[in-house]
Amino acid sequence: MIETAVVDSEADLRALEPEWWDLWGRSASATPFQSPAWAMPWWEAFAPGRLHVVTLRRRGELVGLAPFYVDPERRALPIGIAASDYLDVLIDPKYAAPVTVALDAEIARGLGAGMAEWEMPDLPPEAQAFGLSPDADTTIEPGQVCPVLPLPAGAVDLSSVIPARKWRKLRMARNRARRLGGGSISCCHGAGLAEAFAALVELHGLRWEERGGGVLADPRVRLFHQRALPELDRAGLLELLVCRIGGDIVGVYYGLKDRSRSYAYIGGFDPAQAFVSPGTLLIGHALDRALSEGRREFHFLRGREGYKYEWGAVDRLSRRRVFRPAPAYADA
């Protein structure tokens, strides 16, 4: 028997965190974007509606979670939307069948009670939300293209993973950095996060200043990441890399990681140092770390920027599912 309830206050959602983490750890398809370390800071920074987080329990244990909110247009949307490249519900694989049935019923109930729609965007191919089939008018649409570089099992040398041309460019960038003062790349933790993020904001802004300053120009976005970074760091999901040449920060890579995947979220570099290719140096370093730590995929996330394919990434398409009231409800 699955018991369903709705969490609608921030205090109750925060109290759910220990169980949320346990469920996240049991879900093989979960990404850092479904973790409390990402979702809670997002909600605290944006809170664009009223919380509608569906909890599903079996004998008191949390075995399913659908972290949503309802916006002013009566749409149920996932916490983290827009800032998250992958979204999904969390379901304990041991109880997938009964949890899915219970969540289907909750979605249908909400639509029958006046919700305009229940939207699930940015679903990766392995998303658990694809198993849902509520009594609703359902549409599924192409989402974003998210290039991914597979990392073969047993690969220990990046030269055997990326195209030969890119390997040559990476070696050239490393040689140039050495000639200019011995470029170094470090992974930031704890007290170093604030300085690294401030540098990222500045460098990202330099690249995008002619087009409005980029996503980090929004103070709410900065607040979200400032709160998320230490949470992600404590959870072991953060990879914040800083590239220095001659002591100066010339590039910052903001990445995420989980048990088997790395995610290149956002970066910034000094345009004046383009000759050294800080972006290439940072991604090369992140790929080396992914190989050494046994990850199987490197996700460049949404967007068809050309540099992603230079590393050998191949397209992977996300999907968008939308549930709307079934005709019986719509005509009522």
Cβ neighbour number for residue 125 with a 10 Å cutoff: 11
Average pLDDT over residues 160-188: 92
User: Is residue 41, in this structure, part of any structural domain at all?
Assistant: yes
In this structure, the answer to whether residues 116 and 160 fall within a common structural domain is no
Residue 20's pLDDT band (cuts 50, 70, 90): very high
User: Is residue 187, in this structure, part of any structural domain at all?
Assistant: yes
Q: Residue 154 above 90 pLDDT?
A: no
Residue 7's pLDDT band (cuts 50, 70, 90): very high
Q: Please give the pLDDT value at position 242.
A: 97
Q: Please give the pLDDT value at position 326.
A: 86
Q: State the burial class of residue 142 (Cβ atoms within 10 Å of its Cβ: 0-12, 13-18, 19+).
A: exposed
Q: What is the DSSP annotation of 140-179?
A: EEEEEE--EEE--TT---GGGTS-HHHHHHHHHHHHHHHH
User: Is residue 315, in this structure, part of any structural domain at all?
Assistant: no
User: Is residue 26, in this structure, part of any structural domain at all?
Assistant: yes
In this structure, the answer to whether residues 133 and 173 fall within a common structural domain is no
Alpha-carbon distance 270 to 276, whole Å? 10
In this structure, the answer to whether residues 181 and 130 fall within a common structural domain is no
In this structure, the answer to whether residues 53 and 171 fall within a common structural domain is no
Average pLDDT over residues 19-47: 97
- The reported pTM is 0.94
Alpha-carbon distance 222 to 192, whole Å? 16
In this structure, the answer to whether residues 122 and 250 fall within a common structural domain is no
User: Is residue 183, in this structure, part of any structural domain at all?
Assistant: yes
Q: Residue 255 above 80 pLDDT?
A: yes
In this structure, the answer to whether residues 135 and 279 fall within a common structural domain is no
CATH code of the domain covering residue 269: 3.40.630.30
Q: Which domain holds residue 176?
A: 148-310
Q: Please give the pLDDT value at position 155.
A: 84
Domain count for the chain, please give it. Answer: 2
Q: Please give the pLDDT value at position 246.
A: 84
Strand extents, DSSP E, the chain: 2-7, 50-58, 61-70, 75-78, 90-91, 117-123, 136-145, 148-150, 184-187, 238-245, 248-257, 261-269, 297-299, 317-325
In this structure, the answer to whether residues 153 and 299 fall within a common structural domain is yes
Task: Give the range among 25-29, 65-69, 129-133, 211-215 with minimum mean pLDDT.
Answer: 211-215
User: Is residue 122, in this structure, part of any structural domain at all?
Assistant: yes
Residue 180's pLDDT band (cuts 50, 70, 90): confident
In this structure, the answer to whether residues 170 and 32 fall within a common structural domain is no
In this structure, the answer to whether residues 57 and 22 fall within a common structural domain is yes
DSSP 9: S
Q: Residue 329 above 70 pLDDT?
A: no
Higher local confidence (pLDDT), 248 or 240: 240
In this structure, the answer to whether residues 27 and 82 fall within a common structural domain is yes
In this structure, the answer to whether residues 25 and 64 fall within a common structural domain is yes
User: Is residue 103, in this structure, part of any structural domain at all?
Assistant: yes
pLDDT in tens, 263-320: 999 999 999 898 999 999 999 999 999 999 999 999 999 999 999 999 999 999 999 9
Q: b/e per residue, 238-259, with b = 16+ CB within 10 A?
A: bbbbbbbbeeebbbbbbbbbbe
The chain-wide mean pLDDT, for the chain, equals: 95
Q: Residue 209 above 90 pLDDT?
A: no
User: Is residue 57, in this structure, part of any structural domain at all?
Assistant: yes
Q: Residue 88 above 70 pLDDT?
A: yes
Q: Please give the pLDDT value at position 181.
A: 74
In this structure, the answer to whether residues 29 and 130 fall within a common structural domain is yes
